[in-house]
């Protein structure tokens, strides 16, 4: 286990969380390199029968050490901005393992991607396809392009992280995909490299994948009948993880669906997992500043806030919260809240928890994905440090910002 108790004390691998807190202060994120590795390898072995590239979805956690850890294992990257492409390359991921997704790639981002000759640009509209063609011709290059098709499938996940329905902004409408492929195939700046889809995140059931992949297989058959050959099938990401008592499908179960729906096509399979690689490889550690009671309600106020981890406020997400040192002082029902001046700054409402006291450390579990990556300096709070653990050692992989760091980009007009 990457995060586990030894003598009632929480450890990350063989490092005591209390010791890290003493050295770096709170709050901080803590990642396990062993767990990142394990999660990556689970995909690799499940998809071993296919020619495959796992393109880690950088948005889940773009820390350079996290991306480097995966790069060293051979991972590719799924990026959604020029910044993410930059970090993937910096981490040592070669261009031929990078896919670029997103509905609103700018000309500048596309130019960089085309110049870098990445594995594939997943285009999401006819205007984007035309823009890619124009830029590629200007550069005297051919861009590798897939269409991200929208299979109109209900991923049965939270409404804010569903992406594969017709009324989402993502992808090319199913009925428009064939004509757009035909047009793109005739463009001199474009090399059709594949097909891409991504139907949503935190999926706890493989059936929506089965539905979408089956539709993709039909689309590929139709394309190839017209002589448009498809090299890569990019399956997107989306496999869920355990936050509370969910039973997410295993990589094996996922791979079985890939086998059943797309196996006969013998294509290069790309998967873009984010959460299922980084999510349970990270925790957010925080300290109780105060506790208080108001009427019947008990509050535990922590030094981490919604600016550090916004998933509970934004998606009503559940994260298990556990004391770093178990005191076994009995259970209470309390709201665990941050210090931000917003009522939505609540990590857990009416949670049955150990009676945490002022000064106690606590850990918010499964915070490795969409935790630090979505954090902000709201309330002018410095971004918190990130620490990576391996075996008995730990390393600060992003230092805590200070006030002057945050002020560096500010400027006051001379008229004051
Ligand atoms: N590929 C594409 C095109 C995506 O849009 C995403 C995630 C992924 C791959 C990775 O999906 P994953 O394997 O992580 O589910 N902030 C939200 C999740 C947003 C997901 C956005 N797209 C959350 O905290 O739940």
| pLDDT over 80 (residue 166) | no
Q: Ligand 1 mean position to 249 CA, how many Å?
A: 16
Burial 359-393 (b: 16+ CB within 10 A, else e): ebbbbbbbbbbbbbbbbeeeeebebbbbbbbbeee
Same fold, 3-31+279-407 and 33-276: no
Query: Tokens 């294992």 sit at which residue?
Result: 73
Question: Contact at 8 Å (CB) between 356 and 300?
Answer: yes
Q: Ligand 1 mean position to 18 CA, how many Å?
A: 31
Just give the CATH number of 3-31+279-407. 2.40.37.10
Strands (E), 189-252: 190-196, 232-234
pLDDT, residue 198, reads 94
Q: Stretch 254-281: mean pLDDT, rounded?
A: 98
Percentage of the chain exceeding pLDDT 70: 98
Of all atoms in ligand 1, which is nearest to the CA of residue 202?
Answer: 15
| pLDDT over 90 (residue 154) | no
The Cα 278–Cα 103 span in angstroms is 24
pLDDT, residue 18, reads 98
pLDDT, residue 328, reads 87
Comparing 328 with 27, the larger pLDDT belongs to 27
pLDDT of 84-120, one tens digit each? 999 999 999 999 999 999 999 999 999 999 999 999 9
pTM: 0.97
Active site residues: 341
Question: Contact at 8 Å (CB) between 23 and 289?
Answer: no
Please tell me what DSSP assigns to residue 26: S
Q: Where are the domains of the chain?
A: 3-31+279-407, 33-276
For the chain, the straight-line distance linking the first and the last C-alpha, in angstroms and rounded, comes to: 57
Run of H or E including 69: helix 64-73
Of all atoms in ligand 1, which is nearest to the CA of residue 203?
Answer: 15
pLDDT, residue 163, reads 67
| pLDDT over 90 (residue 202) | yes
| pLDDT over 90 (residue 165) | no
312 to 201, 282, 319: CA distances (angstroms): 15, 16, 8
Query: In which region does residue 328 sit, left (phi positive, over 0), alpha (psi from -120 to 50) or beta (all else)?
Result: left
Q: Which residues line ligand 1 (CB under 6 A)?
A: 57, 60, 78, 101, 161, 163, 198, 201-202, 236-239, 272-276, 311, 315, 369-370
Query: Tokens 């897939």 sit at which residue?
Result: 146
Q: Stretch 51-72: mean pLDDT, rounded?
A: 98
Please tell me what DSSP assigns to residue 325: B
Instruction: Tell me the pLDDT band of 157, cut-offs 50, 70 and 90.
Output: confident
Question: Contact at 8 Å (CB) between 130 and 107?
Answer: no
Largest CA distance in the chain: 72
The Cα 298–Cα 174 span in angstroms is 51
| pLDDT over 80 (residue 396) | yes
Of all atoms in ligand 1, which is nearest to the CA of residue 369?
Answer: 24
Q: Stretch 370-380: mean pLDDT, rounded?
A: 98
Q: Ligand 1 mean position to 58 CA, how many Å?
A: 9
User: Which of 3.20.20.10, 3.50.50.60, 3.40.50.720, 3.30.479.30 is the CATH number of 33-276?
Assistant: 3.20.20.10
Q: Ligand 1 mean position to 200 CA, how many Å?
A: 7
| pLDDT over 90 (residue 161) | no
Percentage of the chain exceeding pLDDT 90: 94
Query: Tokens 């110049």 sit at which residue?
Result: 115
pLDDT, residue 353, reads 97
pLDDT, residue 168, reads 78
Min mean pLDDT across 27-41, 102-116, 121-135, 152-166 is at 152-166
The Cα 383–Cα 385 span in angstroms is 7
Instruction: Supply the residue whose CA is at minimum distance from atom 6 of ligand 1.
Output: 237
Q: Ligand 1 mean position to 10 CA, how many Å?
A: 29
Question: Contact at 8 Å (CB) between 397 and 310?
Answer: no
Instruction: Supply the residue whose CA is at minimum distance from atom 22 of ligand 1.
Output: 201
Question: Contact at 8 Å (CB) between 363 and 325?
Answer: no
Question: Contact at 8 Å (CB) between 393 and 62?
Answer: no
With 0-12 / 13-18 / 19 or more C-beta atoms within 10 angstroms meaning exposed / middle / buried, residue 59 is buried
Which of these, 210, 168, 371, 221, lies nearest to 286 by C-alpha position? 371
pLDDT of 318-352, one tens digit each? 999 999 999 888 999 999 999 999 999 999 999 99
The Cα 292–Cα 27 span in angstroms is 20
Instruction: Supply the residue whose CA is at minimum distance from atom 5 of ligand 1.
Output: 198
Query: Tokens 């990589």 sit at which residue?
Result: 251
Instruction: Tell me the pLDDT band of 228, cut-offs 50, 70 and 90.
Output: very high
Of all atoms in ligand 1, which is nearest to the CA of residue 370?
Answer: 24
CB-based contacts of 295, cutoff 8 Å, min separation 6: none
């Amino acid at each position: 286990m990457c995060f586990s108790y030894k003598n009632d004390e929480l450890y990350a691998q063989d490092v005591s969380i209390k010791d890290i807190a003493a050295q770096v202060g709170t709050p901080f994120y803590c990642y396990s390199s062993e767990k990142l590795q394990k999660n990556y390898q689970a995909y690799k072995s499940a998809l071993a029968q296919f020619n495959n590239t796992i393109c880690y979805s950088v948005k889940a956690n773009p820390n350079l050490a996290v991306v480097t850890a995966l790069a060293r294992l051979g991972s590719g990257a799924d990026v959604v901005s020029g910044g993410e492409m930059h970090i993937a390359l910096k981490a040592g991921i070669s261009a031929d393992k990078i896919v670029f997704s997103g509905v609103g790639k700018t000309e500048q981002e596309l130019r960089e991607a085309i110049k870098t000759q990445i594995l594939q640009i997943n285009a999401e509209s006819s205007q984007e396809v035309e823009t890619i063609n124009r830029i590629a011709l200007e550069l005297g290059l051919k861009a590798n392009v897939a269409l991200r098709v929208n299979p109109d499938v209900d991923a049965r996940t939270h409404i804010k992280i569903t992406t594969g329905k017709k009324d989402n902004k993502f992808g090319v409408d199913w009925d428009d995909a064939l004509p757009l492929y035909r047009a793109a195939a005739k463009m001199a700046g474009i090399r059709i490299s594949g097909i891409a889809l991504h139907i949503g995140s935190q999926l706890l059931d493989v059936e929506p994948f089965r539905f979408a992949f089956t539709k993709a297989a039909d689309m590929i058959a139709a394309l190839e009948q017209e002589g448009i050959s498809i090299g890569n099938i990019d399956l997107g990401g989306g496999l869920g993880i355990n936050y509370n008592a969910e039973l997410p499908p295993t990589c094996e179960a996922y791979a079985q669906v890939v086998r059943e729906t797309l196996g006969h096509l013998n294509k290069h399979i790309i998967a873009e997992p984010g959460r299922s690689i980084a999510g349970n490889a990270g925790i957010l550690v925080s300290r109780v500043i105060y506790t208080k009671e108001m009427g019947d309600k008990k509050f535990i106020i922590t030094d981490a806030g919604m600016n550090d981890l916004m998933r509970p406020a934004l998606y009503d997400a559940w994260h298990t919260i556990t004391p770093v040192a178990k005191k076994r002082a009995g259970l209470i029902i309390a709201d665990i809240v941050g210090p931000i001046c917003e009522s939505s700054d609540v990590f857990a409402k009416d949670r049955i928890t150990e009676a945490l006291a002022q000064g106690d450390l606590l850990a918010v579990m499964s915070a490795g994905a969409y935790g630090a990556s979505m954090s902000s300096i709201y309330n002018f709070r410095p971004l918190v440090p990130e620490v990576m653990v391996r075996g008995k050692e730990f390393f600060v992989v992003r230092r805590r910002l200070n006030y002057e760091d945050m002020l560096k980009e500010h400027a006051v007009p001379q008229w004051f």
